[in-house]
Structure 1
Amino acid sequence: MSCKKRTQPGLVKWNNEETKALIALWGQEETQRKLGKMHRNRDIFEEIASGLMKIGFEKTAEQCKTKVKNLKSRYRTVLDHNNKSGNDPMFMPFFDDLHTLLRDRPTSR
C-alpha cells in the first residue's frame, strides 16, 4: 500500500503566489468575456489550469473553479460585513484585486 496521503480535491492548499496567478488569469478580459457568455465553463477553467501549469503551478481545472468560487464567496462576505454600519473592518488577502474584478458584477455570477 502507498504511503502517500490522499486529500480531497476541495482541500488543496494554495499559496499566495498561486492565488495571485489564479486571480490574474481569471481576471483577464478575454477570460471574463468567455465566462460571461457560457453556462458551462469547464473549458475556461482548463485554460486557467493550463496557464498556471505554464508558470509552474500544478492545479486542476476543478481546483481552480473551487478556489475561484471560494474567493468570490469570501469577498462577498467581507464586502457585506464592511458595508454594515458599526462593524469593525474585516480583511482578507487579495481583496483589492477581487474588488477590481467583482465590484460591478451581479452576485449570481
Structure 2
Amino acid sequence: DEDDDNSSASSEALGSRKRRRKTERKLEGFVKNLVTKVMEKQELMHRQLVEMIENKERERIKREEAWKHEEMERIRKDEEARAQERSRNLALISFIQNLLGHEIQIPQPVEEACGKREEDEVEVNAQKDLNNDSSNNRWPDVEVQSLITVRTSLEHKVRLMGSKGSIWEEISEAMHGMGYNRSAKKCKEKWENINKYYKRTVGSGKKRRLNSKTCPYFDELDTLYRNGPLSIGNASSNTSDVPQIEEKE
C-alpha cells in the first residue's frame, strides 16, 4: 500500500509539472504574439505618419510653386505695363518736340516730402474746382498731357474756326489714336476745367508755389501760353473773364 501511495504521489507531481510547463508555453506564446502585434501596429503608424508628412511637404512645395508662378506672372505684367507707359511717354515727348521744333528738357519727377499745413487760398479754390470735375479722377496725368499736346497742335484751326464741335471731334480722334477713349464732349470739358484753374491762378496775381500739388500741368500751360503756341483767348468757350498775362521779368 505504501508503494502504491508513493507511485500515486509521483504521478500527480509529474502531471502537475507537465501542466505548469504547458501553461508557461501558452503564456509565452501569448506574450510573443502580443509583442508582435504591437510592433506591427507601431510600424504601420510610423509608415502612415511618414506618408502624411511627405504628402504635406508635396502640397507645400506645390503651393509655393503656384505662388512663385503667380508672382512671376504679376511681375511680367507690371513690366509690360511700365514698358508700354514708357513707350507712350516717349512717343508723346517726340510729338511735342516735333511740334515745338526743338528738344525739350524733361524734368525729373520730384516726390513731395511734406505738404504745408496751410494752403494758399487761390490754390484751395482751384483744387475744389478740379475735385468737382466728375471725370477728373479718371484722367491720369499722362492722358491730360496728351490732351494738352493735341489741343496745342490744333491751335491754328481754333484761331480760324473757333472752339466748335468739329475741332473737338478731331481732338477726340487724335486721343483715340494715342490709345485714349475720350469723347469730344469729355475732351472739351477737361480742357475748360484745367484752363479754369490756370486762369484763376494767373488772375489772382499771387505767385504759385513751386512745390504745389495742384494742377501738375500748370507750368506747361504757362509756358505754352507765354511762348505763343496757345492763345489765352481760346482757352475755353467762355473768354470774357480771361485775365491778361504779364510777361515775366
Q: Residue 98 and residue 58 in structure 1: after superposition, are their counterparts in 2 closer, same or farther (change >3 A)? A: same
Structure number with greater CO (CA < 8 Å, separation at least 6) is 1
SS of the equivalent of 1:92 reads coil
- Within the candidate set 129, 132, 146, 1:21 is matched to 146
- Within the candidate set 212, 217, 221, 1:94 is matched to 217
Partner of 2:172: 49
Measure, in 2, the Cα distance between the counterparts of 1:68 and 1:11: 13
Once the two structures are TM-superposed, the CA of residue 101 in structure 1 deviates from its matched residue by 2.8
Which letter maps to 1:43?
S
Measure, in 1, the Cα distance between the counterparts of 2:174 and 2:165: 14
Tell me which protein shows more helix as a share of its residues. 2
Deviations 1:55-104, CA, capped at 9 Å, x for gaps: 110000000000110011011112233x23xx773652101211123346
**Which segments of 5 or more consecutive residues in structure 2 lack a partner in the other structure?**
1-132, 243-249
1:76-95 equivalent positions in 2, closer than 5 A: 76-81=199-204, 83-84=205-206, 89=209, 91-95=214-218
How many residue pairs end up in the alignment?
A: 95
Partner of 1:72: 195
CA RMSD of aligned residues (A): 2.3
Measure, in 1, the Cα distance between the counterparts of 2:190 and 2:208: 26
1:63 and 2:186 aligned: yes
User: What percent of counterpart residues are identical?
Assistant: 26
- Within the candidate set 124, 131, 134, 1:11 is matched to 134
